[in-house]
Amino acid sequence: MSRIGKLPIVLSDKVEVTLVGRDIKVKGPLWELTFTHSDVVEVSKEENNLIVKPLWEEAKALWWTTRAVLNNMVVWVTEGYKRSLEVIWVGYKFEVQGNTLVLSIGLSHKVDMPIPAGLKVSLDEKAKNMLHISWIDKQLVWEFAAKVRAKKKPEPYKGKWIKYVWEHIRRKAGKTGSK
């Protein structure tokens, strides 16, 4: 039996869930999403919980997947997702100009990246070397953050990079490290 699949999805007061046949509609303060689940699982609403159950033993994979998708939908419509990036090196910086992210990352030119529709990209008020990307779609947020990070991959010898805030990159000593 699945430990995750058995857990109920707790709904807050901000979330409205409507079950019509196999269609599930989740509405929250940020967005409204719909999902059609497989016919091998059963989704029921009990008080402030969503319960997902398999209809037969072979349906475990779809049971876990359906529960994970529904849980993500509840998070998306209430909180959204956020990724923070940090650029480290002298002269490196982020700029947001309209619907374009401009990167100054040591190249002979500035790199312009169009921001996908709906995505919220903002600079940190305190530290200008930090960029916050947020939206309700986890895949879109993480994909755009990965594209920004790929523009200047970590260079462990000099310490030039664009990295996630939570990421730890080990510095290397280089040629003079052995002396």
By residue range, what is the domain housing residue 152? 81-166
Is residue 177 situated within a structural domain? no
Task: Look at residue 156 and tell me whether its pLDDT is greater than 70.
Answer: yes
Do 101 and 148 contact (CB within 8 A), yes or no?
Answer: yes
Q: Do 22 and 97 belong to one domain?
A: no
Q: Which of 51, 78, 105 is the last residue of a domain?
A: 78
Task: Look at residue 113 and tell me whether its pLDDT is greater than 90.
Answer: yes
* pLDDT, greater one: 176 or 20: 20
Q: Do 30 and 65 belong to one domain?
A: yes
Is residue 175 situated within a structural domain? no
Q: Do 52 and 91 belong to one domain?
A: no
Do 36 and 66 contact (CB within 8 A), yes or no?
Answer: no
Q: Do 161 and 88 belong to one domain?
A: yes
Instruction: Please give the tally of structural domains in the chain.
Output: 2
Rounded to whole angstroms, the Cα distance separating 145 from 164 reads 8
Q: Do 159 and 88 belong to one domain?
A: yes
Pairing relation of β-strands 9-10 and 23-27? unpaired
Is residue 68 situated within a structural domain? yes
Q: Indicate which CATH number applies to the domain containing 155.
A: 3.90.930.12
Rounded to whole angstroms, the Cα distance separating 108 from 158 reads 19
Tokens of 149: 């990070």
Do 41 and 66 contact (CB within 8 A), yes or no?
Answer: yes
pLDDT in tens, 122-155: 998 888 789 999 988 888 999 999 999 999 888 8
Q: Do 130 and 72 belong to one domain?
A: no
Q: Do 93 and 128 belong to one domain?
A: yes
Q: Do 65 and 87 belong to one domain?
A: no
pLDDT in tens, 68-92: 999 988 988 898 889 999 988 888 8
Task: Look at residue 1 and tell me whether its pLDDT is greater than 60.
Answer: no
Is residue 54 situated within a structural domain? yes
Q: Do 123 and 48 belong to one domain?
A: no
Q: Do 102 and 156 belong to one domain?
A: yes
pTM for this prediction: 0.71
Task: Look at residue 179 and tell me whether its pLDDT is greater than 70.
Answer: no
Q: Do 90 and 157 belong to one domain?
A: yes
**Per-residue DSSP letters for the chain?**
--HHHHS-EE--TT-EEEEETTEEEEE-SS-EEEEE--TTEEEEEETTEEEEEESSGGGHHHHHHHHHHHHHHHHHHHT-EEEEEEEESTT-EEEEETTEEEEESSSSSPEEEEPPTT-EEEE-SS-TTEEEEEES-HHHHHHHHHHHHHTS--BTTTTBEEEETT--------GGGG-
